[in-house]
Structure 1
Amino acid sequence: MASHKDLMQMVRDGLGTLVFAFGHKVGIIDAFIELKDPCTVEELSQKSGLNSRYIQEWLGCMLAAGVVRINKEKKYSLPYSKDLLKRWGHIASVIPIFSELFGKLAEDMSKEKPEGYTYYQPFLKWLDIFQTPEAVHSWNNNLVIPVLNLKSGKDFTLLDLGCGYGRHVRDIAEQYPDCHIFGIDSDEESIKQANIELAKTTLQNVKYEIMDGGKLPDDWVGKFDFVIMNDVLHDAYEVDSILKETKKVLKDDGYGAAFDPPVSSYPENLVNDKTAQFYMPFSLFSCLPESLSGPPGGEGLGAGWGYERRKEKIEKHGFQVIKVHKDVDKVQDGIVFKK
């Protein structure tokens, strides 16, 4: 039998994460970053503009969690890099956003035939902030650029199916000024924001449109060298239609790439898996409900659908999965395929 201490520690860690998220939200962490050296409660209070008694209580929480340190002079420090503090502070701030969905998720779970719900706009905005230019550039270089290198030349045509706010393809467009990129998404607000951000640049090789990935234009047959799908398939309620349309618009020598959480399809492989521990809560509150939100009988996939079953689905549509990053039988972020 599992130790009750494991359960207790999980709850304690969750409470500590919530307090850390609050510190990120109200500026305590920013104050630490600006002060740099170990500081007093009063110095933190002055820098953040927050009440010192509340600051002291927040510090007590973080001392107990082992995140904040205190020295002999009773000065406090948060001994992590600025990038780490900013990144994980923002990640922690998704917890209150998901808490706002408790009622909606509970209501849908109580139905015999769940109907799901579409993306929660505060979460999409959180996600956009999470995808910093540096993070997007690194992600593209590690995962997308190796796919683009499968074909010679830099004047390719690329479809980003489910582009969201369009950050990833703007970065690619900057790296490949001779390419032509189309970003599509069925979410009107996402395309609106993508076009707002595009207007702030001088890019001429990117175009965004509101479009259903399962119903692409007939005049796009054989149009694209690459079709990229980032966090699309596991969220979708029409996977078969999307893959059918992907096959239609790819050139005969084109490549598709589907990037989704690197989680196994098999529950026994999720035990104590820290990658799954990170991604599965996102799926419970956002990915799975989105996948259930389409026409009656929506897919209901989510991150738990997993790598192995996703790969099997792609192969059933006649695609050949090829090795680019790791052996194709190993769970990973991307599945790269060709006709």
Structure 2
Amino acid sequence: MPDLKSRLNTMLMGGMVTPTIALGKKLGLFEALGEVASAEAPADVKTIADKADCKERYVREWLAVLSCAGFIEVTPDEKFWLTEEAKHEFTGLNNLAVAEMSFLPTVVKTFNELSDAFKKNGRYGLEYAQFGDFYDTMDSVTTAMHDAHLISDYFPLIDMSEKLAEGSLKVLDVGCGSGYHALKMASTYPKCEIHGADISEKAIGMAKDSLKEQGHKNLTFHVEDAGKMPSEWTNTFDFITIFDACHDQMRPDLCLNEIYRMLKPGGVFAMLEIRGCSNIHADKVKHGPFASAFYAVSMFHCLPVGSNRSDALCMGAMWGEQRAKKLIEDAGFKKEHVQVFEPAYFPINIVYLCKKE
């Protein structure tokens, strides 16, 4: 293992390069470079900057960072291009790690407020509204992870694909955010009645805008608190989903209680969550350095938004399988009716499949 000084230097360089990559994704600089340059015909700074509609001097500095880091090729006369491998990984949504790099500039915006939340006499946590850019990034990451597998792999895994295709199911996506999963289900399964619910008015506004554009008649979005859903929804839904949203709840126990209440007898609940062991040492052994990234995102976002009142459970993204299963069973699901999957196509996620008697 490299000595501590070497590791610190590596962390420092990575910490500076990561937001540089995120900036390139935000501004379309990788796409611009890929379009105007190749190994046979590398492009100068002006050509790349003009293609991206950016200032030449800023683009030169951006190219310098990533050329020196070894991600962009550079000639002695300062012309640039991407290898075919780099073009594939940095453009579009082909690489999950690249997509996730955009989290860094979104979460450090609340650095000072988070510092206050750490203090014994400081604030409880942070508001969802303080993370507007984070949710835009989350949409991109979700699309990068789920678009290729949600319909073709995930629903078959939980034995819901044929049932959804047959129709007549009433479906609820809890913590739906800007509506990606609900919209996908509505378009793929037009015979089902789909609902999406989220506490964020901004997110639901975005979801409704997308719904208006796509025109699905079988989908409705609602602004609702996952810990206190409408009383008339008791025993209403055949299938309830939640995608990477339960750990962000201040009271995930109340959320799971409500899900159990809203499910019809015989109904199915599927929860996608971050893989974790409910033990830091076990996470280090099983997931290695990657666990640190998930704990960091949790520290900057998931924990503070899930801690923002006096009765919050303060779970964080890495609450893990043991804690999650306990809350699921406490909500009413019997242990023998709870299955756990770790699908290879969702490498950071764990799936809890639950059935109500």
- Corresponding residue number in structure 2 for 1:299: 313
1:200 aligns with 2:217: no
- Corresponding residue number in structure 1 for 2:351: 334
- Corresponding residue number in structure 1 for 2:52: 48
- Corresponding residue number in structure 1 for 2:180: 167
- Corresponding residue number in structure 2 for 1:76: 80
- Corresponding residue number in structure 2 for 1:237: 250
Q: What SS does structure 2 have at the residue aligned with 1:237?
A: coil
Would the aligned equivalents of 1:263 and 1:275 in 2 still touch at CA under 8 Å?
A: no
Q: CA deviation at 1:130?
A: 3.9
Alignment-mate amino acid for residue 244 of structure 1: N
Query: Given the two structures, how large is their TM-score scaled by the length of structure 2?
Result: 0.84
- Corresponding residue number in structure 2 for 1:279: 294
1:182 aligns with 2:195: yes
1:255 aligns with 2:268: yes
- Corresponding residue number in structure 1 for 2:68: 64
Among 80, 83, 102, the residue aligned to 2:111 = 102
In structure 2, distance between residues paired with 1:309 and 1:263: 10
In structure 2, distance between residues paired with 1:268 and 1:154: 45
- Corresponding residue number in structure 2 for 1:308: 322
In structure 1, distance between residues paired with 2:47 and 2:122: 55
1:30 aligns with 2:31: yes
Kindly provide the CA deviation profile for residues 182-240 of structure 1, in whole angstroms up to 9, marking residues without a partner as x: 11111111112211111112211111111122222332222111111112221111222
CA RMSD of aligned residues (A): 2.8
Q: Which runs of 5+ in 1 are unaligned?
A: none
Would the aligned equivalents of 2:116 and 2:122 in 1 still touch at CA under 8 Å?
A: no
Kindly provide the CA deviation profile for residues 149-208 of structure 1, in whole angstroms up to 9, marking residues without a partner as x: 385733211111111111111101111110011111111111122111111122111111
Instruction: State the aligned residue count.
Output: 335
Alignment-mate amino acid for residue 148 of structure 2: S
**Structure 1 residue ranges (4+ consecutive) displaced by more than 6 angstroms after TM superposition:** none
In structure 2, distance between residues paired with 1:59 and 1:23: 9
CA separation of 1:112 and 1:150: change in aligned 2, threshold 3 A = farther
CA separation of 1:16 and 1:248: change in aligned 2, threshold 3 A = same
- Corresponding residue number in structure 1 for 2:150: 140
Among 122, 125, 148, the residue aligned to 1:116 = 125
Q: CA deviation at 1:49?
A: 4.6
CA separation of 1:211 and 1:111: change in aligned 2, threshold 3 A = same
Query: Given the two structures, how large is their TM-score scaled by the length of structure 1?
Result: 0.88
In structure 2, distance between residues paired with 1:135 and 1:269: 25
Kindly provide the CA deviation profile for residues 90-142 of structure 1, in whole angstroms up to 9, marking residues without a partner as x: 5333322222111111111113475111222222233234444x754324223
- Corresponding residue number in structure 1 for 2:167: 154
Q: What SS does structure 1 have at the residue aligned with 2:33?
A: helix
Q: Which runs of 5+ in 2 are unaligned?
A: none
